[in-house]
Chains A and B, each alone.
Chain A
Amino acid sequence: MSKRFILAQAGILISLMITVPSVCADTADPAVAALKQGQGEKLIPRLNQAVKKQPDSPQLWNNLAVAYIQAGQYEAAARSFDSAVTVEPVYKTIYANRQKLLDFMAAQAYQKALGNQDKPKLPSFDVLETSQPVVAPVIPAKPVQQQEQPTASIIRQLITDWSQAWQQGKVDAYLSLYSPGFVAADGTGFEQWKNIRTAKLRFSHVQKLAINDEKLFISTDGKQVVSQFVQTYQAERYQDRVVKQLEWVKQPEGWKIKQEIVLETLK
């Protein structure tokens, strides 16, 4: 609502000798205050001028309707309410949709009451565009060979998980990355090796574990991956730097380490 308009309304109010007690005026617009006090009847001509100037203001149409109600002119009030809800295109569509639904419900109620067998035809309702997508856009399914591509990133992520689980002493997460068929480099069986590793992870405080120069070799059938990297390890009383090879195999529950070998110890 423009300032000039408010001033104009205030002016007319003064000229109409409507006194609005300041305690009740919790609004800047004396017209609104007058309406709240049920003194809308005298405002009708003024509000009609206002809606002519600003026919797209739902607020003005609403207030005009309230003024009509206060004057006992209910039909005019209903028409103003109709204008209020139809001035904006979005409201207009919603209002029309609502109207269609309500008419359909009334038709249905009467057909039932009159024992009429023909069912009323459900009208078509307009759908509005929304600012935020409710459902993420659907991405078309990729061909099979393209699905092989993310394997590298999966393995890279798994190597990160592996090193972090080791570094943070998360035994379960660490061990879960190994295949049940895993055999240690020294020939120790999986169960015994697990016990050794569990103890080591719990009692050695890793100060640093860095993975660098990562290389991946993916088999042509995509079911095996050999990863090599430089592993820098530092604990309280031990440190080394090695080139390590982890051999990954794809299993139903995901990629698992089948073999772990130190290829080379670096200076």
Chain B
Amino acid sequence: MKFVSVVLLLLFSWSAFAEDMPDPEEDIFLALEEIQSTHLDQAAHRLKSLLQREPDFKLAQLLYGDILKARTRGLHNPGQAIKDTSQLDPLLQEARLRFAAKLNNKPYDRIPAPLLWVDSSIKNVILVDLSQSRLYVMSNQSGIPKLTSDYFVSMGRGGPSKEKSGDLKTPLGVYFVQNYIPQEQLADKYGAGAYPLNYPNAWDRMQGRTGSGIWLHGTRSGTYNRPPLASEGCVVLPNRNLLKVGARITQGETPVIIGENIQWLSQQQWREQSQQYHQRVQGWVNDWQDLDVNAYLQHYSKQFNNGHFTYASWSQHKQRVSRVKQFIHVKLSHLSIYHHPDADLFVATFQQDYQSNNYTSLSWKRQYWKKDADGVWRIIYEGRIEPPKDRLQLVRR
């Protein structure tokens, strides 16, 4: 039964790609290149056919209009016919971002530094670089994340780094797709679907961050894409791209890492870093198994707080239960480690198989590790999470 579902699922995702059209961004890039090399005829022809396919693509409209203008009365500045700079500037910014994204070599042989350890059960990781207005889909190939596709995205009008409700900013950090809201259940402005993220996460709440409803979603009908800074904090993609990214998302599981300065490492650098971080988590497991409660507690920050325990109550509790322990066996599986792109913080998610002389449990946990002022990484939050549900029930529709 499960196997049949997998096959059906595969067939369904294939159908989404079957009617794949040429990438409109590719045409924008080529048109911009043609304009700059004075091949306006070719650019006009290209844009005209692009606009037949995507009549609502504003940037394509701007370029096509400019070519007509250039051919008649001469063009001194892009979009000189648009007097309202609040309309023109976002379009020019979009042109710059899209052009740069295509012009620069894609980091196909590099790995984003935040993806320190990706469990083989995680098929894809989504990475959003707000400084580039770019979303990267990284597929997990035997534990090594590989760049498979990338898209232009819009972010909140307030820019990056959400702090409080209503600031119209997009949060920075490590998030996970919670669920999927299909188009039928959404207002038109969210487009082809929405993937809510777990903002504010445990770390955000500890920082006193407020707000909610940070989603990955599409664009309203009659709009191809939105300007770089356009949403109320959500990450917004053209509907066609949302569907492509959506096909890679597993609800409750797919990480969405949003940053302003995402570093891309060589495989060598990445391996060294990922080993270091893996050892940090393993060090915690080892001290726990060694029944050395003081060493174990040294992995926890004085600011530790998971809603039930503060550092004081946590250490008290651990001291108490350790007195009757004769042995503890802890085995972590499905470990994933993601680094916050813009903070000294990493998030570890795993399944914990705990066995001791008087207690046994199998649970899913998430830890937030923070680098303290003394340079030591300590756990600032640790809590249970819902075990990932059967993946088959979760993929969109």
Interface residues of A (CB under 8 A from B): 99-107, 109-116, 118, 120-121, 123
Name the B residues within 8 Å of A114 (CB-CB).
32, 36, 95-96, 99
CB contacts (< 8 Å) of A112 on chain B: these are 77
Q: Which residues of B contact A120 (CB under 8 A)?
A: 36-38
Contact status of A107 and B95, CB under 8 A, knowing A102-B70, A113-B77, A113-B78 = no
List of A residues within 8 angstroms of B35 by Cβ: 106-107, 110
Q: What are 22 A-B pairs with beta-carbon distances under 8 A? A: A102-B75, A103-B40, A103-B71, A104-B38, A105-B74, A105-B75, A105-B76, A106-B40, A107-B35, A107-B38, A109-B70, A109-B75, A110-B78, A112-B77, A113-B77, A113-B92, A113-B96, A114-B36, A114-B96, A115-B96, A116-B36, A120-B37
Q: How near does chain B come to A232, taking the closest CB pair, in angstroms?
A: 72
Given the complex, which residues of A lie within 8 Å of B78, measured CB to CB? 109-110, 113
CA gap between A109 and B74 in the complex, in Å: 10
Residue B67 at the chain A interface, CB threshold 8 Å: yes
Tell me, in angstroms, the Cα distance from A104 to B35 when the chains sit together.
Answer: 9
Interface positions of B (Cβ within 8 A of A): 32, 35-40, 66-67, 70-72, 74-78, 80, 92, 95-96, 99
Give CA–CA (A100, B38) in the complex, Å: 8
Contacting residue for A110 out of B32, B72, B74, CB 8 A: B32
Taking CB atoms, residues of chain B closer than 8 Å to A101 are: 74
A114–chain B nearest beta-carbon distance, Å: 5
Taking the closest CB of chain A, its distance from the CB of B349, in whole angstroms, is 40
Question: Using Cβ atoms and an 8 Å threshold, which residues of chain A touch B99?
Answer: 114
What is the chain B residue whose CB lies nearest that of A100?
B38
Query: Which residues of B lie under 8 Å from residue A111 when comparing CB positions?
Result: 36
Q: Is B71's CB under 8 angstroms from A99's CB?
A: yes
Q: Which residues of B contact A121 (CB under 8 A)?
A: 38
What total of A-B pairs shows CB separation below 8 Å?
62
Chain B interface main SS type: helix
- Within the complex, what minimum Cβ distance (angstroms) separates A80 from chain B? 15
Whole-angstrom distance between the Cβ of A41 and the nearest chain B Cβ: 24
Look across to chain B and name the residue whose beta carbon is closest to the beta carbon of A118.
B36
Measured CB to CB, the nearest residue on chain B to A111 is B36
Bound-state CA distance A106–B79 (Å) is 11
CB pair A106 B32 closer than 8 Å: no
Measured in the bound complex, the distance between the Cα atoms of B32 and A102 in whole Å is: 16
Docked pose: A224 CA to B99 CA in angstroms? 79
B77: chain A residues at CB < 8 Å are: 109, 112-113
Instruction: State A121–B95 Cα separation when bound (angstroms).
Output: 22
Nearest-CB residue, chain A, relative to B69: A106
Q: Would you give the shortest CB distance from B80 to chain A, in whole angstroms?
A: 8
Residues of B within 8 A of A102 (CB): 70-72, 74-75
In the complex, which residues of chain A have a beta carbon less than 8 angstroms from the beta carbon of B38?
Answer: 100, 103-104, 106-107, 120-121, 123
Which of chain A's residues has its CB closest to B31's CB? A110
A259 to B66, CA, bound (A): 80
Known: A106-B38, A109-B80. 5 other contacts (CB 8 A): A106-B35, A106-B66, A109-B70, A109-B76, A110-B36
CB distance from B335 to the nearest CB of A (A): 43
CA of A118 to CA of B74, assembled, Å: 21
C-alpha spacing A105/B77, complex, angstroms = 9
Contacts of A104 in B (CB 8 A): 38
- Cα distance A105–B40 when bound, in Å? 11
A108 → chain B, closest Cβ, in Å?
9
Shortest Cβ gap from A82 to chain B (Å) = 10
Which of A106, A113, A123 meets B70, CB within 8 Å? A106
Residues of A within 8 A of B37 (CB): 107, 120
